[in-house]
Chain A
């Protein structure tokens, strides 16, 4: 008899227990794990935030504050044209931050992402020049990203096989890549400034990555398909758990989640489908949005739903435990650095498209700092073991929103650096404080 009542506790908190019980479930238990009703879910979430485990909430609050401040100061800030522009500016930082996520979750850092990615993008831009090699764009992109993979592999092997600190190896990689990048630019007729101007289809397509728009009707259909697909996955997953007796969030919470995704999709497509041109037409969702979403989706699945991703987190959390579990640390770490460089290649290709070419005054070093800042602002820990691809997107949006706003206000670059630096500092403080807050609830967190 005694046993029976004991085992009933395993599945979570029974519905008869009230507020105090929910609050008892300290800090780090996600609300979806213990709540049976919407009310409990909300209370569990509040309790969690109070205990310092705030999730993405600080970013969202910061985002709202930034938007409110700048929209008051600048009337055009919330115009459709500027919002789309803001997203295009943020996209590069978002993708670079998702690249950095691999290194950060592993408990490492990659300082080379900016220039390694820039090398890949420069290779692509050079290879499609009609006056020289005139490669087809898919081949040129593959070649550029392949360079990034190899560069990441060399760095990964140096870090894992010679046991060098990633900080130093990637700092060296940053300098080497910077030099290689400048050499690559010198080839061809443009001597330092290969661009995407010209009549070639290949040039045009790379230009479209950032500046091309999807037809408004197609935008709605695409968004509907994405929302329906995501909604189905979430709903079916949750109801399967409910029906097989596992702990799952209540149906109302599941539906609210899906509704939130639908609302975001409608707002984004609605804004993008406004005609943004002063003369003529400029409307529809820019290509860059599905590109960023594709990277986000792929890396979210890889990190959250595959063995590989699980091992990345395990190594970031406790490498010794991972080793004893039979995980090949060197392999996972090296491929982590390869994926980091690979993703950086995608990000800087978008940047090349944004700039309509490549030039020798690209600030690859600055972009590394933005990438790390964006990931940390989004909620990825610098200490390893905690992070998501989504954090890079949210953090990138925050940095882009600040940048865009200050640009509209006509503030000079000095101020943009200072404010971005302060935002990074604030993010790290939140990271540190939330870790301390949750540490009080646990026994062995050093």
Chain B
């Protein structure tokens, strides 16, 4: 806790507004994403979680407010800007090509070449190293097509693909939504591995079991506002549910920001 307060968070979002026509999707949102911590972003449908994520990852541009990266103000105009800073997003649909194998997917768009041709051996070694570093050990061969993988394995590959490029912040949208018990376990372990490697991780989730299992910090959105963010230990299940459904809580956990 003390560390998180004194250290400059990797990403700082201040007073961010975003509207689509007359609809105000984000209203004065403040959010901190410190390195080496998992921040869970909770909220009901339509609370603005996706919009906030897309503003950070460059899909949308913010209308007002400021974004600081490592203490420096930055403007993220598109996804390429975000990638250049080290922000990678793993969307719910994962965006993997079923017909390509694991190595080909992990390097898609950034293939390594040797004398103009694909350097498959080099890419295979690098992909194997990354997977080993993340302790993704359940796949039989990194040369198998993604279509032959389980849901959890696919999620792991999508994450590995995201962190392969020296990324510093990984945003994951509902990473465990479609997974079984064992696979959820594997993905949560993977998230902890990322944190232990010093990355900032933001996980969007509806699943409070997962949130309390993996999150160091919890932020809750309600109707376009970020109503609370604090250490996970300050919350309990009921207080998170209260914040998600009413925007406030009468229980001891968390502190209200907006009222």
List the interface of chain A (C-beta within 8 A of B).
3, 6-7, 9-13, 24-30, 33-34, 240-241, 244, 246-247, 301, 305-307, 310, 313-314, 316-318, 320-322, 324-327, 385-386, 438-439, 441-445
- Which chain B residues border A443 with CB–CB below 8 Å? 149-151, 154
Stretch from B13-21, B68-76, B127-135, B200-208 contacting the other chain: B127-135
B241 within 8 A of A: no
- Which chain A residues border B128 with CB–CB below 8 Å? 10-11
Cα distance A7–B135 when bound, in Å?
A: 7
Shortest distance between the CB of A50 and any CB in chain B (Å): 15
Do B95 and A247 touch (CB < 8 A)? no
Do A320 and B93 touch (CB < 8 A)? yes
Do B144 and A438 touch (CB < 8 A)? no
Cα distance A247–B113 when bound, in Å?
A: 20
Do A10 and B100 touch (CB < 8 A)? no
Instruction: Give a binary string over B120-141; 1 marks a CB under 8 Å from any A CB, 0 the rest.
Output: 0100110010011001011111
- Which chain B residues border A244 with CB–CB below 8 Å? 121, 125
Do A27 and B137 touch (CB < 8 A)? no
- Which chain A residues border B96 with CB–CB below 8 Å? 318, 321
Shortest distance between the CB of B162 and any CB in chain A (Å): 11
Q: List 10 A-B contacts (CB under 8 A).
A: A6-B137, A10-B142, A25-B140, A28-B145, A310-B118, A314-B104, A317-B98, A439-B147, A443-B150, A444-B147
- Which chain A residues border B45 with CB–CB below 8 Å? none
- Which chain B residues border A26 with CB–CB below 8 Å? 148
Query: Which residue of B104, B121, B138, B144 contacts A240 across the interface (Cβ within 8 Å)?
Result: B121
Do B147 and A10 touch (CB < 8 A)? no
- Please, which residue of chain B has its CB at the minimum distance from the CB of A386? B99
Instruction: State how many residues of chain B have any CB contact under 8 Å with chain A.
Output: 42
Using known A-B contacts A29-B143, A322-B97, A385-B99, determine if residue A3 contacts B121 with beta carbons closer than 8 Å.
Answer: no
Instruction: Give a binary string over B82-112; 1 marks a CB under 8 Å from any A CB, 0 the rest.
Output: 0000000000011111111000110011110
B237 within 8 A of A: no
Do B111 and A307 touch (CB < 8 A)? yes
Cα distance A139–B111 when bound, in Å?
A: 37
- Please, which residue of chain A has its CB at the minimum distance from the CB of B144? A29
- Which chain A residues border B79 with CB–CB below 8 Å? 324
B22 within 8 A of A: no
Do A316 and B99 touch (CB < 8 A)? yes
Shortest distance between the CB of B166 and any CB in chain A (Å): 16
- Please, which residue of chain A has its CB at the minimum distance from the CB of B161? A325
Cα distance A444–B131 when bound, in Å?
A: 22
Do B132 and A7 touch (CB < 8 A)? yes
B257 within 8 A of A: no
